[in-house]
């Protein structure tokens, strides 16, 4: 076997797709970057991208829709102080690059120019957190249809009360290349797949819905029969539980959050507030609080973009910096923020590899990757047994948060009452209302059952949507306000 360097391998593939067919090479990219420094900007970069994606959906036993698209282009950015000029083109050519570069010179400040363009571009050391194969080619069209049909049959066979099944699958092959004014050139090849399942159960004229699914940076072979069974079990169980659910009570109460996907509350309630741009501008409730206690003892939260095959993982961020595991809160103390290059420079803090963008047509900004709370030492059964009267929330739907004050509202899609330490009956319509930093300070027990989500997370910020991961162990939280229907 011949060993190979993943970074160089990625770069070779990216050159073949994004540069060579258009008559471009590193020397020409250097000239484009140099032209942007005519007015002495601080920093500049070029972001090339080629994306191939598809989607399939099944309803009423028939695969009714399918989509396929190819997109490619380049984004050109110049940064001067805290100002950014950005232009993009879906045409990749030397002329398009120079035209886009010319458009970015409008922000230049007289006398700046802190970073010089290197005479040659260098490869960036990297790792290989996932395969670089195109997942769309891992199955033919018939096999993709058969997978969805199989998932539907499995779900319907679980219970006669299942009256409707909707299933979908999606795949993406993303190749990116970044050339920077400090001489760095870097590339990544990013596969991504996902399967989703929604079922509707009916009983005595009442209908309830359950959902499940998962994925990650794999090809379609990841979705084994055993995994499809798991998805069907989860979706059907959720729908059937809600058929028997009673109206949720309202008022302050002890709440136990289950492990895994409930970490989406953590993601929204405090995650966005720990992104560098909000803190540099002073708009986050966490601004200026590094070194202060922001959570109960035992609460440790990290953002980790280096996890193998995870939906939110990246070999490098969208500025060509290696991703890393960043400790945000340690034992309740705020340790740092998630940073891209510009905000880190202006705040005089380290770059954490959290610059992300939806596509070449969007600006990068500090974003989460896989954000989760570390496990504690409590058995989950012990946590439940400690609650005399409270709510056990194991799955969530939508939610909203205001990062300026940390206030959030989240709806639980599957929840149960806890009475005298026992899970009793399911409830419907439970909404959790609170303040992120306050809630962190009311965590009284942390489970030893850390779990990550199954690979379904999508995060939105300033109109850009990105794949992310969330996770947490079971948590007991005191005095959380529950908005109910009873």
**Phi, psi (rounded to 5 degrees) for 234:** -65, -45
- Whether the Cβ atoms of residue 461 and residue 272 lie closer than 8 Å to each other: yes
Pairing status of strand 122-123 against strand 184-203: parallel
Q: Is the pLDDT of residue 399 over 90?
A: no
Distances (CA, A) of 75 to 40, 46, 72, 318, 450: 19, 6, 10, 11, 39
Distances (CA, A) of 17 to 116, 217, 219, 360: 28, 20, 20, 15
Pairing status of strand 475-483 against strand 431-435: antiparallel
CA–CA separation, 283 and 81 (whole Å): 19
Could you read off the pLDDT of 417-427 as tens digits, one per residue?
999 999 999 99
Nearest alpha carbon to residue 188 among 140, 242, 129 = 129
CA–CA separation, 302 and 188 (whole Å): 23
**Phi, psi (rounded to 5 degrees) for 338:** -85, 130
Q: Is the pLDDT of residue 486 over 60?
A: no
The count of other CB atoms within 10 Å of the CB of residue 103 is 16
Q: Is the pLDDT of residue 26 over 70?
A: yes
- The confidence score (pLDDT) of residue 118 equals 41
CA–CA separation, 45 and 40 (whole Å): 14
For 410-443, give the DSSP string: EEEEEEEEEETTEEEEEEES-EEEEEHHHHHHTE
The tokens for 236 are: 């059907």
- The confidence score (pLDDT) of residue 19 equals 97
CA–CA separation, 314 and 324 (whole Å): 9
- The confidence score (pLDDT) of residue 113 equals 41
Please give the span between the terminal C-alpha atoms of the chain, in angstroms, as a whole number: 66
Which secondary-structure segment (H or E) carries 31?
A: helix 26-35
Could you read off the pLDDT of 230-284 as tens digits, one per residue?
999 999 999 999 999 999 999 999 999 999 999 988 888 889 999 999 999 999 9
The tokens for 58 are: 């099944």
Burial letters 374-383, b for 16+ CB under 10 A, else e: bbbebebeeb
């Amino acid at each position: 076997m011949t060993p190979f360097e993943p970074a160089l391998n990625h770069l070779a593939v990216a050159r073949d797709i994004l540069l060579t067919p258009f008559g471009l090479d590193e020397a020409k990219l250097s000239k484009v970057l140099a032209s942007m420094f005519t007015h002495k900007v601080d920093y500049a970069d070029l972001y090339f991208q080629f994306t191939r994606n598809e989607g399939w959906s099944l309803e009423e036993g028939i695969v009714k829709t399918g989509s396929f698209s190819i997109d490619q282009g380049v984004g050109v950015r110049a940064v001067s102080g805290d100002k950014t000029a950005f232009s993009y083109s879906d045409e990749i050519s030397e002329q398009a690059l120079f035209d886009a570069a010319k458009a970015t010179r409008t922000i230049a400040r007289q006398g700046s120019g802190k970073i010089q363009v290197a005479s040659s571009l260098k490869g960036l050391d990297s790792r290989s957190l996932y395969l670089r194969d195109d997942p769309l080619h891992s199955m033919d069209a018939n096999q993709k249809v058969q997978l969805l049909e199989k998932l539907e049959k499995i779900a319907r066979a679980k219970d006669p009360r299942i009256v409707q099944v909707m299933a979908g699958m999606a795949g993406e092959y993303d190749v990116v290349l970044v050339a920077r004014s400090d001489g760095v050139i870097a590339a990544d090849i990013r596969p991504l797949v996902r399967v989703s399942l929604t079922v509707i159960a009916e009983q005595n004229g009442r209908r309830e819905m359950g959902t499940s699914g998962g994925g990650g940076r794999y090809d379609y072979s990841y979705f084994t029969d055993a995994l499809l069974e798991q998805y069907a079990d989860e979706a059907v169980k959720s729908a059937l539980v809600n058929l028997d659910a009673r109206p949720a009570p309202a008022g302050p109460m002890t709440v136990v959050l289950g492990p895994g996907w409930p970490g989406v509350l953590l993601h929204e309630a405090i995650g966005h507030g720990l992104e560098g741009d909000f803190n540099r501008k002073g708009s986050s409730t966490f601004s200026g609080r590094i070194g202060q206690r922001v959570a109960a003892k035992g609460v440790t939260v990290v953002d980790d973009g280096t996890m193998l095959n995870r939906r939110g993982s990246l070999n490098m961020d969208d500025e060509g910096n290696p991703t890393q595991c960043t400790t945000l809160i340690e034992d309740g103390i705020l340790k740092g923020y998630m940073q891209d290059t510009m905000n880190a420079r202006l705040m005089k803090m380290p770059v954490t590899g959290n610059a992300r963008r939806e596509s070449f047509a969007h600006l990068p900004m500090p974003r989460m990757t896989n954000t989760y709370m570390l496990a504690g030492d409590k058995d989950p059964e012990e946590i439940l047994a400690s609650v005399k009267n409270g709510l056990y929330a194991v799955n969530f739907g939508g939610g909203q948060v205001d990062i300026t004050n940390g206030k959030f509202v989240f709806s639980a899609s599957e929840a149960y009452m806890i009475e005298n330490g026992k899970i009793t009956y399911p409830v419907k319509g439970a909404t959790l209302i609170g303040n992120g930093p306050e809630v962190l300070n009311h965590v009284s027990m942390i489970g030893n059952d850390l779990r990550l989500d199954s690979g379904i997370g999508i995060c939105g910020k300033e109109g850009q949507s990105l794949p992310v991961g969330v996770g947490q162990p079971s948590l007991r939280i005191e005095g959380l306000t529950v908005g109910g229907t009873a």
